[in-house]
Amino acid sequence: MNILDKIIEHKKQEVADAKSKISLAQLKDSEFFQRKTFSLKESVKSGSGIIAEFKRKSPSKGIINDKAAVLEVAKSYENFGASGISILTDEIFFGGNLQDLMKVRNEISIPILRKDFMIDEYQFYEAKTNGADVILLIASCLSPIQVQEFTELSHELGLEVLLEIHTEDELEHFNKNIDLVGINNRNLKDFKVDLQHSVDLKNQLPKDVLSVAESGIYDLKDYQFLKEKGFDGFLMGEYFMKNENPGSKFEEFISNVTK
């Protein structure tokens, strides 16, 4: 069993536990459930395109930064020009939680992506009720039909969808209602990074689809290469989070990008 399979197995139990504690009716009663969400799609088109991530750890890297405060980092990301903020909400494997979303939501005015392994309708209501604007659908965890159904549900809740793909076969998960397509430069099964593979996949998408390069962007050269190849957005986390002050590292990076 690879790491992705382990995560999904644990996620099923996690969702079942959450359902037993908080009902859908209770989720819908949240102060955030009726709020008008921000559009990541529009923010990427009009801004820097960088979706800066808050991530404490990962299965491949272990602890990345377990000292930084989510609110402080999120505010810095916004202040220095991020188009959106990605927050990991998986606790066991990535050190995140839904409370991180709640802490940030009323303090910033840019879109928040709930980054997690979405396998059940319940999680979409969780995302909405905790202040998310966008959710991630990982093609390797879902069937094309599930992607279509979850996209429809997301839009009913006012949430946008970032579909993440890794392989050519996963291109068939795309449907015209998807808001953005993320192409993960890192293979989730063996964690190898291949930027050219991502470019090849991007070139097979419809021309009008907003594309987001995800993971494995380790320096300015990686960013520039992907930008030149036509990517609209860039989901970056480890590059900033591995520093003691992620916001300061983001400021440095964005200043070099705009030179």
Averaged pLDDT, 33-44: 96
Q: What is the pLDDT of residue 188?
A: 59
- Separation between Cα atoms, residue 162 and residue 12, nearest integer Å: 21
| Active-site entry in 11, 41, 115, 128 | 115
Q: What is the pLDDT of residue 190?
A: 64
55 catalytic per annotation? yes
| Active-site entry in 65, 76, 211, 215 | 215
Q: pLDDT digits over 125-134, tens only? A: 999 999 999 9
- Tell me, letter by letter, the H, E, C secondary structure of 162-179: EEEECCHHHHHHCCCCCC
| Active-site entry in 41, 214, 238, 249 | 214
Q: Are 233 and 41 in contact (CB under 8 A)?
A: no
30 catalytic per annotation? no
244 catalytic per annotation? no
115 catalytic per annotation? yes
Average pLDDT, the chain: 94
CA distances from 194 to 66, 128, 162, 235 (A): 28, 33, 20, 15
Sort 215 into a burial class: Cβ within 10 Å, 0-12 / 13-18 / 19+: buried
Least confident of 141-145, 176-180, 183-187, 204-208: 183-187
Q: DSSP string spanning 112-177?
A: EEEES---SHHHHHHHHHTT-SEEEEEGGGS-HHHHHHHHHHHHHTT-EEEEEE-SGGGGGG--TT
Q: Are 236 and 217 in contact (CB under 8 A)?
A: yes
| Rg from Cα positions in the chain | 17
| Active-site entry in 53, 78, 160, 170 | 53
Q: Are 139 and 165 in contact (CB under 8 A)?
A: yes
Q: What is the pLDDT of residue 197?
A: 87
All domains of the chain in start order, with CATH: 3-257 (3.20.20.70)
Neighbours of 173 (CB within 10 A): 23
| Active-site entry in 48, 86, 130, 184 | 184
Q: DSSP string spanning 1-22?
A: --HHHHHHHHHHHHHHHHHHHS
214 catalytic per annotation? yes
Stated length of the chain: 259
Task: For residue 187, name the pLDDT band (cuts at 50, 70, 90).
Answer: low
Q: pLDDT digits over 70-94, tens only? A: 999 999 999 999 999 999 999 999 9
Q: What is the pLDDT of residue 31?
A: 86
Assign residue 30 a region (left: φ > 0; alpha: ψ between -120 and 50; beta: otherwise).
beta
Q: pLDDT digits over 191-219, tens only? A: 677 888 899 999 999 999 999 999 888 88
| Active-site entry in 164, 185, 202, 249 | 164
CA distances from 251 to 29, 67, 72, 159, 186 (A): 38, 19, 13, 28, 25
pTM of the model: 0.95
